[in-house]
Amino acid sequence: MPQTETYILNMGPQHPSTHGVLRVNLELDGERILRATPMMGYLHRGIEKLLEARTYVQGVPYTDRLDYVSSMNNNFGYCRAVEELAGIEVPERAEYIRVIMAELNRIASHQVFIGSLANDLGASTGMLYTFRDREEILDLFDLVCGARMTFHYIRVGGVARDLPPEFAEKCRKFLDRVPEFTAEYANLLMGNEIFQRRLKGVSRLTPEQALAHNMTGPNIRATGIPFDIRKVDGYSVYPRFGFEVPVGENGDNWDRFQVRFREITESARIVRQALDGLPEGPVMAKFPKMLKPPQGEVFSRTEGTRGELGFYIVSDGTAKPYRVHIRRPSFINMQALDDMCRGYLIGDSVVAFSAIDPLMGEVDC
Amino acid sequence: MNAMLENGVVATVAGVLREYLMLLFGNQFLTDLIMKFIGIGAVIGVILSAAIVFTYAERKVCAFIQVRLGPNRVGGRFGLLQPFADMLKLMSKEDIIPAGCDRVVWALSPMLLFVPSALAYAFFPFDKGAVFADVNVGVFLLIAISSQAVLPFLMGGYASNSKYAMIGGMRTVAQMLSYEAPMVFSLLGIVMLTGSLKMSDIVAVQADNVWFVLLQPVAFVIFVITATAETNRTPFDLVEGESEIVAGAFAEYSGMRWALFFLAEYANLLAVSILTTTFFLGGWSGPVLPGVVWFWLKALFMVFFFMWLRWTLPRTRIDQMLSLSWKVLLPLALANVMCTGIGVYIYRWL
Amino acid sequence: MKDYIGAPLLAALQQAFPSAEYDSEAAQPAVFVPAAELTALLTFLRDDGRFGFARLENLTAVDYKTYFEMVYHLFAWGANTWITVKVKLDHEAPSVPSVTGVFPGAAFEEREVYDLMGIEFSGHPDLRRILLAEDFTGHPLRKDYRQAAPPKVPRLRREGGRVYAAD
């Protein structure tokens, strides 16, 4: 009787499809995965500690480096938390601009997701197409704030500067292109038999499992739970816009893809409504230069592109926060990786990493 | 000129050369020997230049499909010198030998891989009368030789002392063995129609009648699918699976050793394109233009077709790949053989 | 936290857990509970029909120099109300029961707190460092954490193509 053993395959931190520096220990029986243990920390920079040593306003650029694919959403989340703590009233125009930026960034981030998912499936062409279209959004950001990756545009009290006059027109031009390129992605990927067979029924999670793992964002919505902070909390000016929350049915990778794919269209709808209703006025609230929020604490959350992005800030009445904790959605979503990989094949594991859509800058913080 | 078209350009040139050598040496045996060496040189030349052309072509085709420009710096606007730059880079790279590898097996693997891919070229009818070895069991020998490519992959995967390489090696065996069967059966129909295993006969029959792609469309589809799998190209690139198992069996190779794998890959790509051309697209047959031109036109179109597939499709999964072979392609190929047999019988009876 | 749990419910909570304390004057009072009763309280908050705090949105710890404070933010989706539960811990050997039995999704966050704050979670299924290396010493998010000086690298001086140690 020959003896058989399982073996450990160490995927990452240098691996083409672990999205940065994720490392996963796979216990394998042949090609089948028995256990997947994510190991992280290769990109840990101690942002929470760094924020304790900066003033509240100086902290904003650090949040850019959390989830560097959707920096605007991070800025947004952090600024909302500080404003709530300090009781700053943000001008309406600034809120509208923030929503426009956050939603544009959501589209860009989902494009990266679709592209990298396609790339992990071996169809590297899909990636080039999504990145080509993402470039248009980056151009818009470039126009607004002069940066393409880490924007530092949404600031405490409002936004850094008003929109340039040509922004509205260029943004509308981009929005008109959205149906065009989503149709192109659908053509390129979704109709493909191999693509469907690789995603459908793979890495299934039940709603109960997703809730137990405390998942948020598109990952939980794929299981059919319409948990979207934009609807649940109705923060900022989101209640003024009509948009749907796409949900999946089976909680498999196909639904995770579908949810994000449909969110692109919904985000575009929000941006268009925000552009239409953009009020005039200042874009920055008036508050003392040296911001000293009263003693207290706040937990504020927003819907980041990867899920619920929460900031817990404790103030001791000085100019620097006493403690900042960031609830990073990618980090918590990673808990589901084991359930998503167990019993599937090596080829499915990279798709599972991709489908959770973790960003190591955010996971490792 | 007419004679050249009648007998094929390559054969005519070879004939002239042979007469000249005969005059020079006056010895039949020596002339034959030299002619054989010239033939070997020509075939190796074809393989090497194919590798050079295809590295460039693959980049350009890929760029075209991916809305990019591709190489455009080295050697003018079109980056024509890119393959040479690649070659220089590969040659100047450090030869990294992984710790704990089986040195002999590890070093042998890339060399051995190149052998079957090069050997297969001996049987290709490049033009009328231009076959290096026109043996009467051509198809059989070809399949026998090409199936030897499994071993070097397994050797490389085993000897590298790397888990990714080992998985890659295992996958190669599973993939190549299971796609060998439908490939052979898809060719059986053609052999039945021709009544010969000789490569030149197969082309000659197509030149006289119709291309076999019309008579054997199912076999053609099966052959193209299995050929993609045999060359380990997307959607069946599980063996390399860049995003899964990094580079599979040759994950641990670098520099010139890796270049040999690369060379074998392109030699295989051209080989399956030539096979498709020979078996299904009428080989060198075609109107007006000389046979050798037709041959290369068809072969290069098939090369483009395989590149097109590679840069369009995602990768399948190992279980899907195997079940496609055993549950779909093999029964289909067998049914095709059966139908062909019945068809041939009825045709004879008529 | 837009809608905080109301005063009547807080009173009901205190009735069920007499050891739980909160500041009835504050706008959004955190409920302080002794470590021993934490899991019972969270289970109660999760399962009792009046509360229904089925989501643990955030778990973290704060170092107040003389004591640690575990912070749990719970959210009741549907009623859209919030509650903050806190546990005060001794600064010398902080230890708290793990809540992974109540909210399995807290596993990584507890590991993170263990890693960066150095708080022990009794009953945690897999309590290891998560962000820092296994052999790391110290807990960086503590206020008294001082980073060890980087190793001294000898400075080099270059003279005429040769390199000398410049001490």
pLDDT of residue B7: 66
Predicted pLDDT at B23? 80
Residue whose C-alpha is closest to residue A187's, from A249, A134, A114: A114
The answer to whether A263 and A110 are in contact (CB under 8 A) is: yes
Place of tokens 């709603």: A207
A345 in reach of chain B (CB within 8 A): yes
Residues of A with CB below 8 A from C65's CB? Answer: none
Q: What subunits make at least 3 CB pairs under 8 angstroms with B?
A: A
Q: What is the token pair recorded at A167? A: 């922004």
| Beta pairing, strands C120-122 & C95-97 | parallel
Residue with more model confidence, B285 or A137: A137
**Angle, CA of C41, C47 and C52, to the nearest 5°:** 95
How many Cβ pairs closer than 8 A exist between chain A and B? Answer: 81
Residue of B131 and B81 predicted with greater confidence:
B81
* Euclidean distance between CA atoms B93 and A314, whole angstroms: 55
- The answer to whether A298 contacts C1, with C-beta atoms less than 8 Å apart, is yes
CB contact under 8 A, B317 and A198: yes
Rounded to the nearest angstrom, the minimum Cα separation between C15 and chain A is 26
Q: Provide the CATH number for the domain around residue A303.
A: 1.10.645.10
B234 contacts A123? CB cut-off 8 A: yes
B4 pLDDT band (50/70/90 cuts)? low
Torsions phi, psi of C35, nearest 5?
-55, -35
Our count of domains for chain A comes to 1
Of A233, A312, A334, the CB nearest to C108: A334
Cα nearest neighbour of C26 on chain A: A296
Radius of gyration of chain C (CA): 22
Q: What's the whole-number mean pLDDT along residues B154-165?
A: 85
Which domain range does residue C105 map to? 7-144
Domain count, chain C: 1
B62, B225, B243, B327: best to mutate for the A interface, most A CBs within 10 A: B243
Cis peptide before B152 (omega within 30 of 0): no
Q: Which residues pair with C31 in a beta bridge?
A: C85
For residue A348, the model assigns a pLDDT of 87
Q: Does B70 touch chain A (CB under 8 A)?
A: no
Residue C67 forms contact with A (CB below 8 Å): no
**Among B61, B32, B83, residue whose Cα is nearest residue B262:** B83
Residue B235 preceded by cis peptide, ω within 30 = yes
Q: Is the pLDDT of residue B220 over 80?
A: yes
Specify the pLDDT at position B316. 87
Strand partners, A301: A310
Q: Do the domain assignments include residue C156?
A: no
pLDDT at B2 over 60: no
Tell whether A276 is within 8 A of chain B (Cβ): no
Place of tokens 């003024």: A240
pTM value is 0.87
Helices (H) and strands (E) in chain B, counts: 16, 0
Strand partners for A27: A8, A35
Residue of B67, B235, B241 lying closest to A194 (CB–CB)? B235
Query: Residue C1 domain-assigned?
Result: no
Cβ-contact A212, C104 below 8 angstroms: yes
> In 3D, which of B1, B197, B39, B21 has the Cα closest to residue B130?
B39
CA neighbor of A41 nearest in space, from B246, C122, C108: C108
A230 contacts chain C (CB < 8 A): no
| Residue C103 forms part of a structural domain | yes
In Å, how far is B319's CA from the nearest CA of chain A? 9
In a domain, A246, yes or no: yes
* C157 assigned to some structural domain: no
Say whether residue A300 is in contact with chain C using an 8 A CB cutoff: yes
Whether A3 is in a domain gets the answer no
Q: To which H or E segment does residue C86 belong?
A: strand C81-90
Cα separation, B237 vs A193, in Å, equals 16
> Environment class of residue C143 by beta-carbon count within 10 Å: exposed (0-12), middle (13-18) or buried (19+)?
exposed
Going by C-alpha positions, the residue among A202, A197, A247, A240 that lies closest to residue A222 is A247
- Bridge-based pairing of strands A7-11 and A321-327 is unpaired
Instruction: For residue C49, give Cα distances in angstroms to B81, B189, C6, C38, C78.
Output: 74, 73, 15, 19, 12
| C-alpha to C-alpha distance for B341 and B256, rounded to whole angstroms | 48
State the pLDDT at residue A110: 92
Is residue A197 in some structural domain? yes
pLDDT of residue B261 exceeding 60, the answer is yes
**ipTM for this prediction:** 0.86
- C-alpha torsion A339→A343→A349→A351, nearest 10: -80
Compare all CA atoms of chain C with the CA of A214 and give the residue at the minimum distance.
Answer: C105
Q: Do chains B and C touch (3 or more CB pairs under 8 A)?
A: no
Q: Is residue A14 part of a domain?
A: no
Chain C residues inside the 8 Å CB shell of A44: 131-132
Q: Is a pLDDT exceeding 70 seen at residue B6?
A: no
Per-residue confidence (pLDDT) for residue C166, from 0 to 100:
66
DSSP string for residues in B207-267: HHS--HHHH-HHHHHHHHHHHHHHTT-TTSGGGT-HHHHTTGGGTT--HHHHHHHHHHHHH
- The span from the CA of C46 to the CA of C31, in Å, is 15
The CATH code of the domain that includes C15 is 3.30.460.80
- Contacts of residue B239, defined as CB under 8 A and 6 or more positions apart, other chains included, come to B153, B168, B171, B172, B175, B232, B248, B249
The secondary element (H helix, E strand) that includes residue C82 is strand C81-90
In a domain, residue C164? The reply is no
- Give the pLDDT confidence of C7-42 residue by residue, as tens digits: 888 888 888 888 888 887 778 888 888 888 888 888
Cross-chain Cβ contact A121/B311 below 8 Å: no
> Residues B303, B306, B311, B317: what is their CA dihedral angle, to the nearest 10 degrees?
-150
pLDDT of B225 above 60: yes
Closest CA of chain B from A177, distance in Å: 17
Nearest CA distance, C34 vs chain A (angstrom): 21
Among chain C residues, CA nearest to A308 = C57
H or E element in which residue C156 lies: strand C156-159
Which segments in chain A show pLDDT lower than 50?
A: none
Q: What is the DSSP letter of A299?
A: E
Give yes or no for B244 touching A (CB within 8 A).
Answer: yes
Is 70 exceeded by the pLDDT of residue B59?
A: yes
Q: Which portions of chain C are predicted below pLDDT 50?
A: none
**Structure tokens given for A127:** 């990636």
**Residue A15 forms part of a structural domain:** no
Query: Does B66 contact chain A (CB < 8 Å)?
Result: yes
Q: A90 lies in which domain range?
A: 44-364
> Beta strand C156-159 with A158-159: parallel, antiparallel or unpaired?
unpaired
Binary contact (A125, B167; C-beta < 8 A): no
Is C2's Cβ below 8 Å from some Cβ in A? yes
Q: Quick one: pLDDT at residue A105?
A: 92
